[in-house]
Amino acid sequence: PIIIMIVLTILAVLWMRYSATGRAIYAVGGNAEAARLSGISEKRILMIVFILNGVFVGIAAVLWATQLSIIQSTVPAGLELQIITAAVVGGVSIMGGVGTAFGAMIAAILLSAINSALVFIDISPYWFRAVVGILILVTVLADMIRRRRTVAASGD
């Protein structure tokens, strides 16, 4: 699964960086009104994003099922928080417009390493949730500070 994740991440990064559709996704995420005025169909881009999301969720579900030898229709408890944390720590802003697949992949690997380290040193799994919560808070706070500084610098 890790090799498939790396290959898919590399393909996603290249597609987002070098294709017109990938750049349009960033444009709509950054400023939908400006993208619309530039001739980019926001509805078309959103449809593409949701289709891609479905494809990647399907791939993840198949990989998950092969690892656990079961198929489960619900997300395991706490996994959604790990997914959001990987995205946010990886540089995807909650406010929209920025972020990369590579950053999210590195953050997912970091979270997995933290979880493994906590298990290795025999710390309760509940502490992993606390670490995840702290990571989200720190990352969102850092993003807000960065955005305020950018706005303040452009206002001068």
Residue ranges of domains in the chain: 1-73, 76-156
- 10: tokens are 């590399």
pLDDT tens digits along 95-152: 766 778 888 888 888 888 998 998 899 888 888 888 888 888 998 898 888 888 888 8
Question: Residue 80: helix, strand or coil by DSSP?
Answer: helix
Torsion of Cα atoms, 132 then 71 then 60 then 143, to 10°: -20
Q: Given pLDDT bands bounded at 50, 70 and 90, which one contains residue 45?
A: very high
Q: What is the mean pLDDT of residues 37-52?
A: 94
Percent of the chain with pLDDT strictly greater than 90: 24
Q: What is the pTM of this model?
A: 0.72
- 70: tokens are 């079961």
